[in-house]
Amino acid sequence: AKESFIRKPGDPLRVWAHRGGSSAAPENTAASDEVARRGRAEWIENDVQPTKDGVPVILHDDTVDRTTDGTGAVRNLTAAQVAGLDAGSWFAPAFTGQRVPTLGQQLDGLKTRGGNLLLEVKGAHTRDSVARIVTEIRDRSMTSRVFVQSFEPQHLRWMHELAPELPLGLLRSTLDPDPVAIAKDLGLSAYNPSDAAFRTRPGIVAELHAQGVAVNVWTVDDATRWNSLEKAGVDGIITNRPAELYGWNSAF
């Protein structure tokens, strides 16, 4: 059986660092990883998309425009073109020289420096691009340190076929009519709603827990809300402020 991601009584909320420590460093870069690691986040969330030549790279938007000094859709750029972009100066001059990591580089960094990866399969993927992600993970023997999430059920179905050992989470910005049914259908380890969606029906925690499925809520940066969510029994929080959540957890 796969590891359970349900929080045990008395345990702190699991800290998932959204795009790394992205409030203090450029998102989805080695610099934001470092912030998350210093904040003792166990898990770093990154988004992964394929380049034109099929290399999985760590980038949130469909285009490189917002988070690099380049322009264009990532699906129209080669990995070499993406590797030449600056992914830090948009955030602050001190971060000039940060790069868009490939998934392989990201996994290498986590393997050497510590931490686990919450990998969001983002944007346009094919079965082949999902298979390439699996290869990168398996080649580095990192399957026990990766959790995969997506808004797209099809991406999770491919992932389940290709790598049944990886735990899966479904992202939702509105709740499904029957979260338990979809969790069973997709073989989910976690159901990950936005905070706004979660507020509409906090009772899903008990329903999903009864089926062994964890609930992680995103993206929550505020201690008042952490408190309410802890009381509601959720398992983890995806946050831009991992160090602060870790500190709040420790003081709790």
Known catalytic residues are 18, 60
Residue closer to ligand G3P, measured from CB, 84 or 244: 244
CB of 173 to ligand G3P, least distance (A): 8
> Minimal CB distance to Ca ion: which residue?
120
Per-residue x/- mask for ligand G3P, residues 16 to 45, rule CB under 6 A?
A: --x--------------------------x
The enclosing H or E element of 204 equals helix 204-209
Helix and strand element counts for the chain (H, E): 10, 9
Residue closer to ligand G3P, measured from CB, 89 or 219: 219
Q: Judged by CB under 6 A, which of 218, 226, 246, 248 binds ligand G3P? A: 218
CB of 219 to ligand G3P, least distance (A): 6
Give the count of alpha carbons within 13 A of 192, CB side only.
31
Residue whose pair of structure tokens reads 């073989």 in the numeric block: 187
Residue 120 as a binder of Ca ion (CB under 5 A): the answer is yes
Tokens of 221: 């940066």
CB 160 within 8 A of CB 127: no
Residue whose pair of structure tokens reads 């795009």 in the numeric block: 19
Tokens of 37: 């690691």
Pairing of strands 168-172, 190-193: parallel
Please say whether the dihedral angle defined by the alpha carbons of residues 78, 80, 86 and 91, taken in this order, is positive or negative.
positive
Q: Judged by CB under 6 A, which of 171, 186, 237, 245 binds ligand G3P? A: 171
Q: Judged by CB under 6 A, which of 238, 240, 242, 243 binds ligand G3P? A: 238
Residue 195 as a binder of ligand G3P (CB under 6 A): the answer is no
Residues that bind ligand G3P (CB under 6 A): 18, 45, 47, 60, 120, 171, 218-219, 238
